[in-house]
Structure 1
């Protein structure tokens, strides 16, 4: 954590910067070029975990009965 922001493991790079980068249509490769302190494997693990959490959340919300 840096100033209250969640950072990528072992860096001062906020996780939000990665998602902003991707949302703006840029690639993981360009993010890594722009953030040399960030390890590629850590970014890939982070994205895989985010995917898993999102899919779990969507699955759980779709299984709830509609009132």
Structure 2
């Protein structure tokens, strides 16, 4: 999946908070659910407008980003 099929940032949707494309579901809600011990299946039940493919693709993108050699740049951006 292309990133624009996973994430949308639009000032007209939740004041520009990143959401799953085609929904009003914030990206952060997936991570919040996982942090709380909620399974992906339960998350998808809670937010039926998010596809399984989107949720898995988001996790894969986050994994690639955080395990890439460029993570140092990300770290420096948040330092």
Moved over 6 A (4+): none
1:14-56 Cα offsets, whole Å, 9 max, x none, are 0001100001111100000000111111111111001100111
- Report the count of equivalent residues: 59
Residue of 34, 43, 50 corresponding to 1:38: 50
Q: TM-score, normalised by structure 1?
A: 0.80
Which residue in the other structure is 2:20 paired with? 8
* Structure of larger gyration radius: 1
TM (norm. structure 2) is 0.69
Q: What residue ranges of structure 1 are gaps of 5+ in the alignment?
A: 62-67
